[in-house]
Structure 1
Amino acid sequence: MLDRHAALVDPGPLDTSLKWLGPGLVGAVVVTLALLLAGDARWPLALALLAGGVISIAAWRFWRGPAPSDAASLAAQPATPNEEFALAAAALQLAEDAAAITDSRGQVLLANRQYGRRFEASDPLQGLGDAEEDGHPLALAREAALRSGQAELRADGDKDSLDYVVRRVGTGGETLLLWSFCERAAPDHLEVVAGRIGGDTGTRLAAAGVLAATLDDEGNVIASNPLFAERILVGVRGKAPALTTILSQSEDGLLRIIAEGDQSPSLRGVHVPIDPLKDDGAGTLLLFDASELSGVTASENVQVLLELLPLGLALVDRDGRFLTMNRAFRQAGGIDQDKMPSYPGDLVVKEDKAAVADAVRRNSRGPAMSADIAVRLARNPKEPVALTVAGLRGIGDAAVLLLLKDNSEEAKLKRQIAQATKMQAVGQLAGGVAHDFNNILTAILGHCDLMLMRHTPGDSDYDDIQQIKSNSNRAAGLTRQLLAFSRQQTLRPQVLQLADVVAEVSHLLKRLLGETVELKVKHGRDVGLVRADPGQLEQVIVNLAVNARDAMLDNGGGTLTIQTYSVRAEQVADLGSEILPVADYSALSITDTGSGIPPAVLGKIFEPFFTTKEVGKGTGLGLSTVYGIVKQSGGFIFADSKVGKGTSFVIYLPVHEVAEEDKARPAGKAPDESSELWGSGTILLVEDEPMVRTVAERALARHGYTVLTANNGEEALELLEDADEVSLLVSDVVMPLMDGPTMGREARKDRPDLPILFMSGYAEEQLRKSIDIDNVDFLPKPFSVQELAEAVRKVLADK
């Protein structure tokens, strides 16, 4: 196909050629000049060709004479397309590089023989004009040339590198593209290597104590690093001294610096040729101080470099024996300094020895390459590690490089992150379920209280109602445990001493533990104050003590030790924990002498519904509740156990700093616990759950209040506009369309002194962080009729 475009057309007789000689010759000269400029830019030849064309045209005009009829005939008969293409094809042959002319879409019209020879196997412009190729480099170059007149592109071919130049040309109004493909000369590898040795690479080698120089094919030094120049080239005349004039070689193959005489230390040379198929010739010469290391001739500088690297590196000879290894490799492999292994296979378990030996053999005798294999170390067969085996050439007796990284801590962190993610997901699920279930329990407990108002003890239905209420309270306790695990439980934090909490619960623990378990309580000195809910903290101690009692029953009893002590910030830093921030803590430890927890179970003990007890003897929520209460209180809990020796739980609560004004403030008066819950006034009740709204409405109405109800925030705002006076706004927090906080902010715009009581199953601390409204109160769900009346009475009394 390319030869068809490159074929020359016979110009025919002289008189025929004279018809197109004038304009055609000018076009040929211009095209040829463009080709030369786009190719190798031979300006003298281009100018000579242009001058020759002008002289030829002048001679033709002089020979033809000023014949008007001939001029008119030429004007009336312009050059035909075939004649123009023939002349353009002849001009393309003058270009030394591959060239082609295409239409505006990229369809090849003309191409020279160089193009056919260069792209004999595959035509880069093939199919470019048949369809749009979005994103193709040649298509982008074509579009750029059509827009701006010229485009350049650099691309790598199969063998050589090419420079593409595309120019927009035109004949007779038609837009054409001239493509020129210029061979790019291959880089001079020797010059590149010399530049690196004389630049930053050579400086880094010098800092490591390595003398480096670049040699040409004749063994002359054409570049060197600073250390090589200071020690060897001092006083040497000439720009490229021969290597034999500055170094001498002994019978054992070691090198010495001639300028230093007999005092010169022995050097071991490593020649890295530029051509990998040749062992000699141009290349890089690296010189190391030769020394005896571990009974094997090696470079002291290399060993120093290996020791500084944080990666575990080792060198192995062709026989598969260790030559040397750095400290990081010994630590990762668990190698004792006094018991150095001989072979890499000695580090791994029996099943992996063959794979390691085979990888070392292949990389030591075959071509230099690298590969990663998963192995299990003998010191820790449960944790697979990655061992990189790479072939080495030119570094003395070393034939294989081993890279071993101790990723046990990384694997541990990954497991901890996965466990934390799972706990968070389960907590969100548990919190959502508990929140919805609280609405149901609120309705059940409320209707029970309303029915109990109409029945007295002794009635036939009284005991049944009490049983329903009792079971509902048990269910509410389960939801509180779920909320505690998900850190969404409403806590009543106070500033307290851990010793006081332990003292309060000690009497209960003695009855719970029984006679077979001995309780020991120890208190440290200077234990700081903490801020926590005392009731929830007592629940934490009771849950942990009950679990310890059950673990000691299998041994017939034991000792339970509860201890409080102070942990300073410097002690926390010494612990080296990646989870516990450095700060002052008050610690509470609960230790038993029971059967212990197996390692496979220890990581799951805080998960909800996970239990090792028999069916019916545990819900699996005890430790998950403990975990949630501690985390919601801003603390941390850790478990340590050994099978057959016991378990220890340690709780770290941050020390609470009490402000000076709080210390000087006198204790407030205890709240009025009057049983009088009747009141008056108008209350706006906003609740999207019909069953909860009905119970709350009836309960408030029975206590003397006028109740206005709304299903959502929008309806509540409309009622506020029409109502004359509203004493209190009681609203749920999470509602569709408009939530409670948004509705409360809108209501405060017109009624800035309106009291607000929010009802929610979520934690009060969590809600206060997300609600930017002052002077609001909270009532946790589920609540009874009496608790609702007490909360309303308290808010109105504080108004």
Structure 2
Amino acid sequence: MATRAQPPLLTGADAAQDASRAPLAWVAGAALVTGALIFLLLGSPALAFGFAGGAGAVGALYLLSRANVAPAAVETHVQDWALTRAAIESDTVAIALTDRQGKLTCANALYGEWFQGFRAPAELWLTNPAAGQLRELEQTAWRNGGAAIDRLQREAGQLRVEVARSGAGDDHLVWRFKPVTSLDVLNEARRLIGSGAGERLGEAGIMGVLIGADARIRAGNRAFALRATGSAEAAIEGRDLATMLTIDKRGLIRFEREGPTGGPVRLLQVPLDPDDRGGATLIFLIDDDGAPRLGEGSASSHIQTLLAMLPLGFALADRDGRFLFLNEAFARAADLPPGAQPVYPSDLVVREDKATVADTVRRFASGPPMSGDIAVRLQTRPDEPVALSIAGARGLGEAAVLLSLKDNAEESRLKRQVAQATKMQAVGQLAGGVAHDFNNILTAIIGHCDLMLMRHTPGDTDYDDIQQIRANSNRAASLTRQLLAFSRQQTLRPQILQLPDVVSEVFNLLKRLLGETVTLNVKHGRNLGPVRADPGQLEQVIVNLAVNARDAMPEGGTLTLQTYAVTAAEVRRMKSDIMPAVDYTAITITDTGTGIPPDVLPKIFEPFFTTKEVGKGTGLGLSTVYGIVKQSNGFIFADSVQGEGTSFVIYLPVHKVEAKPEAAPVQPKERPTELWGTGTILLVEDEAMVRAVAERALTRQGYKVVTAANGEEALECLEAGETFDLLISDVVMPTMDGPTLVRHAREKYPTLPILFMSGYAEEQLRKSIDIERVAFLPKPFSVQQLAEAARAVLAAK
């Protein structure tokens, strides 16, 4: 059957040629008409013919030249996401693509399976510190073209995350999540013994066997099976190695099957985990009768081949203690630079440990076969002791000592992190408890001051003294809030503010703190963007840094506070690896003091680190400063030159406020003008001084107050039959705490209003108090604040 012919494809040249045919006819006609007009006007046939021919030729050449230029093809591209997803499918790597806005545009099936849904990577761990790591990784990838995290913790294990900028316009990020698997040393050793490497050892006369902690065989090469059982194909796994060997009176080791006439063998043990004395062990058996098939060079070379394959750090040394061989794992564990060739094991350790290592190696090389561990400090990590395992080797030619060094850098880092976390948790608990006790004391002091001020008027001899006591008590209350903030038991209350306003608030306080010998200079830049931070905590940051600067200038000097704007372009020119390229408002605090030594500068933000004399510093000041700045999404850096001074720079990101034209302005909450009230209040407080102040304050406002020292007394009052309009209770009390009391009270009086008061922070307590319709009054409070809180709770009843 004849098929229908398809029209040929029209190329750019063919189209130009077809398009030029019609215009050529028009040009020829126009030239003839023009020539005829010239003939009629001038009467010269030669001139008319020549003009017409020339005009026609020029027009034809122009049209032909345009026809030879093919129009540029317009190329459009539409992304086929189905094709993209098919290309990124993988059984081992989770892959995702995000756009400039951080939205997920494509991901493979494994990504959705691992993370239980298709969400952008930065949204995977919203309540986990890993979310911050992923967001910083995303910003670094946009800035540098790529970034990676070696170990990202998640519930199912650890992941390596790689991010690369890609796409036609570099407008997408490609995320790859790969599981970090730990090497199974036991299975790896079993594989090596049973593979070609084990067979090559057998051909050289070396019998290899792997035993577990129970001394039973896990694997062995054919040479061992042949000598131990008489058959190279015999099943030896699970058998007891001790039953296959015998030791005579002279200490010679022979195979049980061969009897006392069998050739003796030498036994070399290689523990696969130096820290686990009862773990799996590689054992090499070598003929000790001088058989020609066991050459010294061949045995040593084969052992080196096997050790090079193992993931643990092993090295061989001769009888003089010189290195003969060390594998890559040993070099990595010793932090050796590429190409470095140490001569002696003692070259790796600090000076104090050199003699110990050298003597131990020589003793193990010349004495009977034995093994042991010593703790040494490497030159590259003098503060972290590591375990160096040493075993005497026999029958390996020049090699007389086997050394093993475990790479415990990751383990040491984790131990430091755990110790640091434990220490910070203990400090946090201590700080929270101290703050609670101080708040109770300050509540009594402030309350008694308020009651005394009600009986004194301005001008009295005692009025100013009482005001001074109250002012100092309020300053002490701010210190307790700082303790709670340091212990992470107080949530920062950020506000939109300007840095110059914060500086002006603490200017007078700084003048008093610095004294007369220190000159304070304040400079403010222009076009400063607003920042979002807790003003009180930010003031504390400035005060802490200023006090440290004052201590660094014992003979006086100059302290300069300067605010200025930092644009995103300037951040990019700084080439910082941790700061995202956004707009910042910065404040620099510079002194002309003694400076900080270079070896101390990296440690100044560590908790409990201080260079001051005993009793003059806790080491918590700069640690608290660092924590507040980081909680505000900012960055702090220190630069110092000894003898010239120190400069601290704080970068806070500019807060972008989105316009909301329809939003109504927030009206400030008016404080009640009338505090007088009526009703019966049950007051529960275990601190007698706080209970007395609160009782007197509420009684003066017209309330009838019944007090209880603990939760049990309060329940007795409730069961006595008296009706109460309000229950005011402390949260933390002995025997029965406030929440437990309220739950019992609500069973009988479900509508009873509750007002909690506590020296701990409200945010911390609300996490543990799951009770509805309760109000909270933080300690320390004044008499007026207590009256206002009671009035507000009763009004909302």
**Normalization by structure 2: what TM-score?**
0.54
1:612 and 2:612 are equivalent in the alignment: yes
Count, aligned residues: 532
Query: Helix, strand or coil for the counterpart of 2:674?
Result: coil
Matches for 1:166-205 after TM superposition, within 5 Å: 204-205=193-194
Matches for 1:215-254 after TM superposition, within 5 Å: none
Query: Helix, strand or coil for the counterpart of 2:360?
Result: helix
Q: 2:501 aligns with which of 501, 504, 509?
A: 504
Number of the residue aligned with 2:400: 399
Identical-residue share of aligned pairs (%): 57
Q: Which moved more, 1:587-596 or 1:676-685?
A: 587-596
1:504-557 CA distances to partner (integer Å, 9 max, x unpaired)? 3143467748766576779999x9x97x64423432344235434654787944
Distance 2:526 2:693 in 1: 49
Q: What is the CA-CA distance between 1:712 and the residue it aligns to?
A: 2.5
Number of the residue aligned with 2:426: 425
Per the alignment, do residues 634 and 534 of structure 1 end up closer, same or farther by CA in structure 2, a change over 3 Å counting?
closer
- Contact between 1:272 and 1:285, CA under 8 Å: does it hold in 2? no
Whichever residue aligns with residue 731 of structure 2, its letter is: V
Distance 2:315 2:526 in 1: 52
Matches for 1:716-727 after TM superposition, within 5 Å: 716-721=714-719, 725-727=723-725
Per the alignment, do residues 428 and 598 of structure 1 end up closer, same or farther by CA in structure 2, a change over 3 Å counting?
farther
Whichever residue aligns with residue 463 of structure 1, its letter is: D
1:343 and 2:344 are equivalent in the alignment: yes
Per the alignment, do residues 624 and 214 of structure 1 end up closer, same or farther by CA in structure 2, a change over 3 Å counting?
closer
- Contact between 2:500 and 2:563, CA under 8 Å: does it hold in 1? no
Matches for 1:651-670 after TM superposition, within 5 Å: 668-670=666-668
Per the alignment, do residues 721 and 202 of structure 1 end up closer, same or farther by CA in structure 2, a change over 3 Å counting?
closer
Distance 1:347 1:734 in 2: 56
Query: Helix, strand or coil for the counterpart of 2:755?
Result: strand
Per the alignment, do residues 402 and 227 of structure 1 end up closer, same or farther by CA in structure 2, a change over 3 Å counting?
closer
Q: What is the CA-CA distance between 1:728 and the residue it aligns to?
A: 2.2
Q: What is the CA-CA distance between 1:558 and the residue it aligns to?
A: 6.9
Query: Helix, strand or coil for the counterpart of 1:758?
Result: strand
Distance 1:348 1:337 in 2: 18
Per the alignment, do residues 627 and 381 of structure 1 end up closer, same or farther by CA in structure 2, a change over 3 Å counting?
closer
Query: Helix, strand or coil for the counterpart of 2:612?
Result: coil
What stretches of structure 1 of length at least 5 have no aligned partner? 1-198, 217-224, 242-270, 291-296
Whichever residue aligns with residue 483 of structure 2, its letter is: L
Per the alignment, do residues 347 and 522 of structure 1 end up closer, same or farther by CA in structure 2, a change over 3 Å counting?
farther
Matches for 1:46-445 after TM superposition, within 5 Å: 204-208=193-197, 210-213=199-202, 274=265, 279=287, 299=301, 305-407=306-408, 410-411=411-412, 413-415=414-416, 417-445=418-446
Matches for 1:683-694 after TM superposition, within 5 Å: 683-694=681-692
Number of the residue aligned with 2:463: 462
- Contact between 1:442 and 1:782, CA under 8 Å: does it hold in 2? yes
Q: Which moved more, 1:696-705 or 1:767-776?
A: 696-705
- Contact between 2:637 and 2:648, CA under 8 Å: does it hold in 1? yes
Number of the residue aligned with 2:212: none
Whichever residue aligns with residue 445 of structure 1, its letter is: I
Whichever residue aligns with residue 696 of structure 1, its letter is: A
Q: 2:748 aligns with which of 750, 763, 787?
A: 750
Whichever residue aligns with residue 765 of structure 1, its letter is: E
Per the alignment, do residues 310 and 522 of structure 1 end up closer, same or farther by CA in structure 2, a change over 3 Å counting?
farther
Number of the residue aligned with 2:763: 765
Per the alignment, do residues 719 and 339 of structure 1 end up closer, same or farther by CA in structure 2, a change over 3 Å counting?
closer
Q: What is the CA-CA distance between 1:768 and the residue it aligns to?
A: 0.5
1:592-639 CA distances to partner (integer Å, 9 max, x unpaired)? 576126756975866579672898x988764465467679x6989987
Query: Helix, strand or coil for the counterpart of 1:790?
Result: helix
Distance 2:663 2:400 in 1: 78
1:324-360 CA distances to partner (integer Å, 9 max, x unpaired)? 2223333443434445222223333445443333322
Query: Helix, strand or coil for the counterpart of 2:485?
Result: helix
Distance 1:795 1:597 in 2: 57
Whichever residue aligns with residue 505 of structure 1, its letter is: V
Per the alignment, do residues 713 and 635 of structure 1 end up closer, same or farther by CA in structure 2, a change over 3 Å counting?
farther
Distance 1:554 1:794 in 2: 54
Q: What is the CA-CA distance between 1:724 and the residue it aligns to?
A: 6.4
1:778 and 2:776 are equivalent in the alignment: yes
Query: Helix, strand or coil for the counterpart of 2:195?
Result: helix
Whichever residue aligns with residue 429 of structure 2, its letter is: Q
- Contact between 1:605 and 1:611, CA under 8 Å: does it hold in 2? no
Q: What is the CA-CA distance between 1:681 and the residue it aligns to?
A: 3.0
Per the alignment, do residues 562 and 273 of structure 1 end up closer, same or farther by CA in structure 2, a change over 3 Å counting?
farther
Per the alignment, do residues 576 and 611 of structure 1 end up closer, same or farther by CA in structure 2, a change over 3 Å counting?
same
Distance 2:602 2:727 in 1: 48
Q: What is the CA-CA distance between 1:698 and the residue it aligns to?
A: 1.5
Distance 2:464 2:608 in 1: 33
1:465-492 CA distances to partner (integer Å, 9 max, x unpaired)? 2233234334334433433333445x56
Q: What is the CA-CA distance between 1:756 and the residue it aligns to?
A: 1.2
Q: What is the CA-CA distance between 1:758 and the residue it aligns to?
A: 0.6
- Contact between 1:596 and 1:647, CA under 8 Å: does it hold in 2? yes
Per the alignment, do residues 327 and 637 of structure 1 end up closer, same or farther by CA in structure 2, a change over 3 Å counting?
farther
Distance 1:684 1:536 in 2: 36
Matches for 1:26-41 after TM superposition, within 5 Å: none
1:738 and 2:739 are equivalent in the alignment: no
Whichever residue aligns with residue 748 of structure 1, its letter is: R
- Contact between 2:287 and 2:294, CA under 8 Å: does it hold in 1? no
Query: Helix, strand or coil for the counterpart of 2:454?
Result: helix
Q: What is the CA-CA distance between 1:274 and the residue it aligns to?
A: 4.1
Q: What is the CA-CA distance between 1:785 and the residue it aligns to?
A: 0.5
Q: What is the CA-CA distance between 1:563 and the residue it aligns to?
A: 8.5
Per the alignment, do residues 625 and 337 of structure 1 end up closer, same or farther by CA in structure 2, a change over 3 Å counting?
closer
What stretches of structure 2 of length at least 5 have no aligned partner? 1-187, 206-218, 234-261, 268-284, 512-517
Distance 2:782 2:318 in 1: 81
Number of the residue aligned with 1:596: 596
Matches for 1:560-709 after TM superposition, within 5 Å: 592=590, 595-596=595-596, 599=599, 612=612, 622-623=621-622, 626=625, 644=642, 668-709=666-707
1:378-430 CA distances to partner (integer Å, 9 max, x unpaired)? 44555443322222234453222222335466556545544543443344334
- Contact between 1:517 and 1:559, CA under 8 Å: does it hold in 2? yes
Per the alignment, do residues 408 and 561 of structure 1 end up closer, same or farther by CA in structure 2, a change over 3 Å counting?
farther
- Contact between 1:487 and 1:628, CA under 8 Å: does it hold in 2? no
1:486 and 2:483 are equivalent in the alignment: no
- Contact between 1:274 and 1:284, CA under 8 Å: does it hold in 2? no
Per the alignment, do residues 384 and 394 of structure 1 end up closer, same or farther by CA in structure 2, a change over 3 Å counting?
same
Whichever residue aligns with residue 679 of structure 2, its letter is: G
Distance 1:287 1:634 in 2: 70
Per the alignment, do residues 510 and 430 of structure 1 end up closer, same or farther by CA in structure 2, a change over 3 Å counting?
closer
Query: Helix, strand or coil for the counterpart of 1:211?
Result: helix
Q: Which moved more, 1:470-479 or 1:587-596?
A: 587-596
Q: What is the CA-CA distance between 1:767 and the residue it aligns to?
A: 0.8
Distance 2:734 2:567 in 1: 48
Per the alignment, do residues 424 and 239 of structure 1 end up closer, same or farther by CA in structure 2, a change over 3 Å counting?
closer
Per the alignment, do residues 451 and 355 of structure 1 end up closer, same or farther by CA in structure 2, a change over 3 Å counting?
closer
Q: What is the CA-CA distance between 1:456 and the residue it aligns to?
A: 0.8
Distance 1:586 1:750 in 2: 56
1:731-773 CA distances to partner (integer Å, 9 max, x unpaired)? 1112233221111122222333322111110111111111110
Q: What is the CA-CA distance between 1:783 and the residue it aligns to?
A: 1.2
Query: Helix, strand or coil for the counterpart of 1:358?
Result: helix
1:88-128 CA distances to partner (integer Å, 9 max, x unpaired)? xxxxxxxxxxxxxxxxxxxxxxxxxxxxxxxxxxxxxxxxx
- Contact between 1:312 and 1:405, CA under 8 Å: does it hold in 2? yes
Distance 2:585 2:305 in 1: 46
Per the alignment, do residues 622 and 359 of structure 1 end up closer, same or farther by CA in structure 2, a change over 3 Å counting?
closer
Per the alignment, do residues 778 and 650 of structure 1 end up closer, same or farther by CA in structure 2, a change over 3 Å counting?
farther
